[in-house]
Every structure is written in C-alpha cells, then in structure tokens.
Amino acid sequence: MTDDLEEIKRKRLAQLQQQQQASQQQQMGGADMQAAMQQEQMQAEMEAKKQALMRQILTPEARERLTNLRMSRKELVEQLESQLIMLAQSGRLQTKIDDEKLKQLLVQMQPKKRETTIKRM
C-alpha cells in the first residue's frame, strides 16, 4: 500500500514538473513570438515604404515588368530596386523611369556572357 502511494506521489510530482516546464517554455515562446511579430511588422512597414517610393519612381508598365521579373530573378530585382531608391533619394532621378529605360537598366545589370565556340579539327 505504501509502495503504491509512493508511486502515485512520484508520478504526480513528475507530472507537475512537466507542467511547470511547459508553462515556462510557453512564456519564453510568447516573448519570442512577440519579438518575431514586431520584426515582421517592421519588415512589412519597410516593404510598404519601398513600394510607395517605387510607385513614385516607376511608371505602371515598369512596375509590372519588375513584378513579373521578381518571380524568376528575385535577387536581380532587389538589387535594381535598391539602386533606384538610392538614386531617387540622392536626387539623381528627375523623371519617372518608363519601361524602355528599365529594360536598358536590366541589360546593363546582367553579367556579360562569354561566347564559346567549338572548333573541329
């Protein structure tokens, strides 16, 4: 009988310890979640500001081209956007960039491809 009572006490103590650990993890997880949510909100705000500035810099056709290009060449588009934003903030852009100017910029940004030739002997 006393062995059964001791076994029940040990199980109950282990159960309480597990519950306490779980509640501590939830509290720590809550702080992590809050920090993650704040970071996500800041990123969303930055993205909204960037999109607003891109609306000022680019014509609708150019923005559409960038949106389409983002699906396949995300790094290139991000690099181009950051350069355009820097130019706009420094006052070096006087007019909106249309689709043709954007095409020219994209061609300039693309790395030069080496042409290979095969010679048969």
The Cα 66–Cα 96 span in angstroms is 14
Q: Do both 36 and 69 map to the same domain? A: no
Structure tokens at 18: 């597990």
Q: Which range (32-41, 53-62, 72-81, 97-106) has the least confidence? A: 32-41
Question: Helix (H, G, I), strand (E, B), or coil: what is residue 97?
Answer: strand
Report phi then psi at 117, rounded to 5. -125, 145
The answer, yes or no, to whether residue 28 has pLDDT greater than 70, is: no
Q: Is residue 118 part of a domain?
A: no
The Cα 48–Cα 51 span in angstroms is 5
Convert the pLDDT of each residue in 54-86 to its tens digit: 999 999 999 999 999 999 999 999 999 999 999
Give the other-Cβ count within 10 Å of 73's Cβ: 16
Q: Is residue 30 part of a domain?
A: yes
Query: Exposure pattern of 49-68 as b/e (b: 16+ CB <10 Å)?
Result: eeeeebeebbbeebbebbee
Q: Is residue 90 part of a domain?
A: yes
Work out how many domains the chain is built from and give that number: 2
Q: Which domain holds residue 5?
A: 1-43
